[in-house]
A and B are shown apart, each in its own frame.
Chain A
């Protein structure tokens, strides 16, 4: 079972939910931090690094002596990473997505591939939690390939919690595609509702079962709950606006450790998400 924790914007408590859910497990669980531009789940754990590997993309390198400046490579590349106008091509490796298209299309075999490092995937262990996090190198803008590298490091036969980047753009879609279920974290405010409805549209298009976690219930109004009721979206968890929770989080500690009365709520969140992913089969009509 792979559960994604996502939200339409940052600052809703998404990482808090993901990390506490992992800690509430009684046995082995994996936590994947796919917010590779700003991984922060590790701040809540006291893990030791047990593995690290660099992630590279194959980018083109042109052998000018073989190139006849036909421009086929540049016409093919939709990312403008290789540009030619009657000249041997100019390369912009930072825009290259490593698709290999230019290499295949070059009629003269003038393009070779070299590795360009984009970031690292690190593994840490803290008790029963194995954290896998991607960390994009400074100045690199290619998030989806690193997210895919993080996901490729995850086991298939263990419970996995995936902390998605905030928002509804390509990095999020690369993260949540193929997961078994999603928990969308929001706050019960007009802004929260707006961002939630964007996230709901995205998730419905990807056809992933999902429910909602409402964080800081009590700060706003009941429009998020009304929206979920009307849309038939299950509420997986209501987290009250408890000042003690804010204090625990601001100290980088975990709610389920410091305020154990919240443990069962996170266990219910996991159970509810599993029920979404594998619904009880409907009875056949008699």
Chain B
């Protein structure tokens, strides 16, 4: 299974980006073979509005089995829920720490948006 993480750089040492809609990039981590792929979030960063929806659509199209991020606003959350993608919240500093926490099962699954729309 592949999970998506919001990051501000490339690779497993990259810092996590706590925003979702306006995250710098999404790192796609394959839990089975440990490979990493990067997807830029240029559109979400540029969007005046709807950045969270845009990002959630991107994530849904990538067919990931979960999203690990800092915070998730209501619109993005609605799209992710409709797409059946579980969202996990973390305060981990780096991508690799967040992955370790995911594997250890210590991340909190969000079942409601935790910030208002403009934060994302």
**Interface on A for B, CB 8 Å cutoff?**
74, 79-81, 83, 85, 87, 90, 92, 95, 141
Residues on B with beta carbons closer than 8 Å to the beta carbon of A87 = 82-83
> In the complex, are the beta carbons of B49 and A83 less than 8 A apart?
no
Residues on A with beta carbons closer than 8 Å to the beta carbon of B75 = 92, 95
Measured CB to CB, the closest approach of chain B to A25, in angstroms, equals 38
Complex Cα distance, B50 from A90, in Å, reads: 13
Residues on B with beta carbons closer than 8 Å to the beta carbon of A141 = 49
Complex Cα distance, B54 from A79, in Å, reads: 9
**Interface on B for A, CB 8 Å cutoff?**
47, 49-50, 53-54, 56-57, 60-61, 75, 78-79, 82-83
Q: 11 new A-B pairs (CB below 8 Å) besides A80-B53, A95-B50?
A: A80-B50, A80-B54, A83-B56, A83-B57, A83-B82, A87-B82, A87-B83, A92-B50, A92-B78, A95-B75, A141-B49
> In the complex, are the beta carbons of B53 and A83 less than 8 A apart?
yes
> In the complex, are the beta carbons of A90 and B49 less than 8 A apart?
no
Residues on B with beta carbons closer than 8 Å to the beta carbon of A95 = 49-50, 53, 75
Residues on A with beta carbons closer than 8 Å to the beta carbon of B82 = 83, 87, 90
Residues on B with beta carbons closer than 8 Å to the beta carbon of A79 = 49-50
Closest 3 CB pairs of A and B: A80-B50, A80-B53, A85-B60
10 contacts between A and B (CB under 8 A): A79-B49, A79-B50, A80-B53, A80-B54, A80-B57, A83-B53, A85-B60, A85-B61, A92-B53, A95-B49
Complex Cα distance, B83 from A85, in Å, reads: 7
Complex Cα distance, B49 from A141, in Å, reads: 9
Residues on B with beta carbons closer than 8 Å to the beta carbon of A74 = 57
Residues on B with beta carbons closer than 8 Å to the beta carbon of A85 = 57, 60-61, 83
> In the complex, are the beta carbons of A90 and B78 less than 8 A apart?
yes
Residues on A with beta carbons closer than 8 Å to the beta carbon of B53 = 80, 83, 92, 95
Measured CB to CB, the closest approach of chain B to A37, in angstroms, equals 14
Complex Cα distance, B82 from A255, in Å, reads: 58
Complex Cα distance, B50 from A74, in Å, reads: 13
Complex Cα distance, B47 from A79, in Å, reads: 9
Measured CB to CB, the closest approach of chain A to B43, in angstroms, equals 10
Residues on A with beta carbons closer than 8 Å to the beta carbon of B54 = 80
Q: Which B residue's beta carbon lies closest to that of A88?
A: B82
Measured CB to CB, the closest approach of chain B to A62, in angstroms, equals 13
Residues on A with beta carbons closer than 8 Å to the beta carbon of B50 = 79-81, 92, 95
Residues on B with beta carbons closer than 8 Å to the beta carbon of A90 = 78-79, 82
Complex Cα distance, B48 from A79, in Å, reads: 9
Q: Which B residue's beta carbon lies closest to that of A170?
A: B48
Measured CB to CB, the closest approach of chain B to A57, in angstroms, equals 15
Complex Cα distance, B78 from A92, in Å, reads: 10
Complex Cα distance, B57 from A79, in Å, reads: 12
Q: Which A residue's beta carbon lies closest to that of B48?
A: A170
Complex Cα distance, B49 from A85, in Å, reads: 20
Residues on B with beta carbons closer than 8 Å to the beta carbon of A92 = 50, 53, 75, 78
Q: Which A residue's beta carbon lies closest to that of B59?
A: A85
Residues on A with beta carbons closer than 8 Å to the beta carbon of B60 = 85
Residues on A with beta carbons closer than 8 Å to the beta carbon of B49 = 79-80, 95, 141
Q: Which B residue's beta carbon lies closest to that of A81?
A: B50
Measured CB to CB, the closest approach of chain A to B74, in angstroms, equals 10
Complex Cα distance, B62 from A85, in Å, reads: 11
Q: Which B residue's beta carbon lies closest to that of A139?
A: B117
With a 10 A CB-CB cut-off, give which of B47, B50, B54, B78 has the most chain A CB atoms.
B50
Q: Which A residue's beta carbon lies closest to that of B78?
A: A90
